[in-house]
């Protein structure tokens, strides 16, 4: 589900759980292992986090998995994701999310934990639509989103469940750069590589 490659001083963590990179316990475990490897490897100075799927960065938590879980399983799952995202956020190495498609709910929270978010141009949405399930973002979105876009915009996105296209995401500060879809990964890696040489 999660792969880690290294080229020079740049690590690339790729999400791969078709059809939408909806994450479950195993996904969280593998993501944690990849993040820990990046943190521990002195040869990696920056990391790109992206998806192998053409239409989705991540649709967030696997709702079916979550609904079928017991309360202790849910608590363990949420705690692990909190820990993984805190590791990404607090790592002294730069993490850049290369968002190539729909980035929703818990998927948005993965991107929010990164230092920078670069997005592909295209017709897809970014946001926190958890309200449509009767819940609030559970993996740090309620804290990280307001820091990026301001309290009012964050509240609007969370209480309406509205998603925004990449150009609007750029204008409100949710993403930092937009590249043509076919150039996103190369441009993000190029940026990360340049950082490692400073």
- DSSP assignment string, 158-178: HHH--EE-HHHHHHHTS-SEE
pLDDT tens per residue, range 20-40: 999 888 999 999 999 999 999
Strand arrangement of the beta sheet that strand 163-164 belongs to:
56-58, 102-104, 126-127, 163-164
Residue 134 included in any domain: no
Cβ neighbours of residue 89 closer than 8 Å, sequence gap 6 or more = 113, 114, 140, 144
Q: Residue 169 sits in a domain of what CATH number?
A: 3.90.226.10
Is 109 one of the annotated active-site residues of the chain? yes
> b or e along 18-38 (b: 16 or more beta carbons within 10 Å of the residue's beta carbon)?
eebbbbbbebbbbbbebbeeb
Does 151 fall in a domain?
Answer: no
Residue 107 lies in a domain: yes
Does any domain span residue 56?
yes
What global pTM score does this model have?
0.94
The residue annotated as part of the active site, out of 109, 182, 183, 190, is 109
Question: Structurally, how many domains does the chain consist of?
Answer: 1
**Active-site residue identified among 130, 168, 182, 183:** 130
Which of 64, 60, 44, 59 minimizes the C-alpha distance to 4? 44
The 10s digit of each residue's pLDDT in 130-148 is 877 777 777 778 889 999 9
The reported pLDDT for the residue numbered 137 is 72
Does residue 138 lie in a domain region? no
In a domain, 85, yes or no: yes
Q: Which domain holds residue 44?
A: 2-127+164-196
The distance of Cα 9 from the centroid of its chain, to the nearest Å, equals 21
Of 8, 110, 7, 98, the C-alpha closest to 48 is 98
157, part of any domain: no
- Give the whole-angstrom CA distance, residue 154 versus residue 163: 11
Task: Indicate whether 102 pLDDT > 90.
Answer: yes
Asked if residue 135 belongs to a domain, the reply is: no
């Amino acid at each position: 589900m999660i792969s880690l490659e290294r080229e020079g001083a740049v690590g690339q963590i790729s999400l791969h759980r078709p059809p939408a990179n909806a994450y479950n316990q195993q996904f969280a475990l593998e993501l944690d292992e990849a993040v820990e490897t990046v943190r521990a490897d002195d040869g990696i100075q920056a990391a790109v986090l992206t998806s192998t799927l053409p239409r989705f960065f991540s649709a967030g938590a696997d709702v079916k998995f979550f609904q079928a879980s017991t309360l202790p399983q849910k608590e363990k799952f949420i705690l692990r994701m909190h820990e993984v995202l805190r590791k990404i956020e607090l790592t002294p190495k730069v993490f850049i999310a290369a968002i190539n498609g729909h980035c929703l709910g818990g998927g948005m929270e993965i991107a929010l934990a990164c230092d920078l978010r670069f997005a592909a141009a295209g017709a897809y949405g970014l946001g926190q639509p958890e309200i449509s399930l009767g819940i609030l973002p559970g993996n740090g979105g309620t804290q990280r989103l307001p820091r990026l876009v301001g309290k009012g915009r964050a509240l609007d996105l969370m209480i309406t469940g509205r998603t925004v296209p990449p150009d609007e995401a750029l204008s409100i500060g949710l993403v930092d750069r937009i590249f043509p879809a076919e150039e996103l990964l190369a441009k993000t890696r190029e940026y990360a590589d340049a950082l490692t040489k400073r």
